[in-house]
Amino acid sequence: PFTNLPLPYGYDAMEPYIDEKTMRLHHDRHLQTYIDNLNKILEANPDLQKLTLKELIRSVPRLPYSIQTGILNNAGGVYNHRLYFELLINPSGRQPVGKLAEAIARDFGSVENFYQAFKEAALSVFGSGYAWLVSYQGSLKIVTTPNQNTTLGMDLCPVITIDVWEHAYYL
């Protein structure tokens, strides 16, 4: 069975941008729900238990129709949330530096332009989903995915993601 990995920082590490209560609820309850739902499906389909999270997501088109949506949403939910939490860092007093700063200047013109484009992309997601800053064929791009769809299979490398919609209303 999959288990919830501890956050690589304290629950209050993103204050004042994301408060401790939201981090606890998001990680301990919301992500846990995806894990519990995924484990329930795997319990009923023991031959899938040997697959990794990525393998499960990639195998969706070949799975029995009755579990495709459940695997897509819940394995995707676990995969996306793990990336989201791993990639987060408190931005206080920080600016992108080094190669990332150079790539942002090259592909977006400036950090401010990037922030604006990233925000607009996130706000354009209808319902829930993600906006991603990705590296694709040597360039930085912004892409969005609906629901708990992942960027797996898109031949790109996620740099950071915005988890859109649901958590703004939690508390």
Give, as ranges, the residues between 140 and 169 that touch Mn ion (CB under 5 A).
163
- Are the C-beta atoms of 80 and 130 separated by less than 8 Å? yes
Residue (114 or 163) nearer to Mn ion, CB: 163
Residue (83 or 103) nearer to Mn ion, CB: 83
Residue (38 or 104) nearer to Mn ion, CB: 38
User: Shortest approach of Mn ion to residue 158 CB, angstroms?
Assistant: 15
Residue (22 or 108) nearer to Mn ion, CB: 22
User: Shortest approach of Mn ion to residue 16 CB, angstroms?
Assistant: 20
Query: Which residue has the closest beta carbon to Mn ion?
Result: 163
User: Shortest approach of Mn ion to residue 130 CB, angstroms?
Assistant: 9
The yes or no reply on residue 38 touching Mn ion (CB under 5 A) is: no
* Nearest residue to 88 via CA among 22, 153, 137: 22
User: Shortest approach of Mn ion to residue 61 CB, angstroms?
Assistant: 25
What does the binding site for Mn ion look like in residue numbers (CB under 5 A)? 163
